[in-house]
C-alpha cells in the first residue's frame, strides 16, 4: 500500500525528526554560580534529551570534567575562579583541550567576545540566553 504522503514530505519529516533528536543523550556541563541561570538552562536542555552536569564556579567546573561532558557552557563572571581563567586551565589540560566551550556572559561588547575567544572559548552567548541560538550552537559544536 502506497503512502498518501509524497516522498519530499516524508524526507522533510525525517530531517525534522533527526534535527529534534540530534542532541538526545548528549551531556552538557553548565558552569554558573547563579542557580536561576542553571535552572533555566537545565530546563531547556533536558527538554531536548540532554543530560546536565553542573559546576558552581570555575574550580568546580574543572572537577566536573571528569564526568566526560560533550560540551561546556561556561559563565564568565563567577566567584573563586572566573570563567575565562577556567577556560584557560581547561585548554592547557591535554585531556580536555578539544572539548567545545561556549562562554556565557551578560556583557555584550565586541571586546568581551574577543576576550572569551582569546581565552579559548569556541563560541560566545550573551544573557539573556536566546534558546534557539543556544540549541543551534550546541548542534554546530557537537557535530563538528
Residue pLDDT, tens place only, 8-57? 654 544 444 445 567 888 999 999 999 999 999 999 999 999 999 999 99
Q: By the 8 A CB rule, do 52 and 70 touch? A: no
pLDDT tens-place string over residues 97-118: 999 999 999 877 788 889 999 9
Q: By the 8 A CB rule, do 53 and 64 touch? A: yes
Q: Which domains does the chain have, with CATH numbers?
A: 25-142 (3.40.50.2300)
d(CA 42, CA 28): 9
Query: pTM value?
Result: 0.85
Residue 4 CB partners (closer than 8 Å, separation 6+): none
Amino acid at each position: 500500500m502506497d503512502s498518501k504522503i509524497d516522498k519530499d514530505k516524508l524526507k522533510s519529516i525525517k530531517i525534522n525528526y533527526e534535527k529534534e533528536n540530534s542532541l538526545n543523550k548528549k551531556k552538557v556541563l553548565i558552569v554558573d554560580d547563579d542557580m536561576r541561570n542553571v535552572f533555566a538552562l537545565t530546563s531547556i536542555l533536558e527538554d531536548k534529551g540532554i543530560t546536565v552536569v553542573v559546576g558552581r564556579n570555575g574550580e568546580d567546573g574543572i572537577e566536573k570534567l571528569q564526568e566526560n561532558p560533550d560540551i561546556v557552557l561556561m559563565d564568565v563572571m563567577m566567584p573563586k575562579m572566573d570563567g575565562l581563567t577556567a577556560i584557560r586551565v581547561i585548554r592547557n589540560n591535554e585531556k580536555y583541550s578539544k572539548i567545545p566551550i561556549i562562554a556565557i556572559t551578560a556583557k555584550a561588547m565586541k571586546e568581551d567576545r574577543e576576550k572569551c575567544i582569546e581565552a579559548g572559548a569556541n563560541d560566545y552567548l550573551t544573557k539573556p540566553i536566546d534558546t534557539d541560538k543556544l540549541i543551534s550552537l550546541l548542534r554546530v559544536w557537537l557535530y563538528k
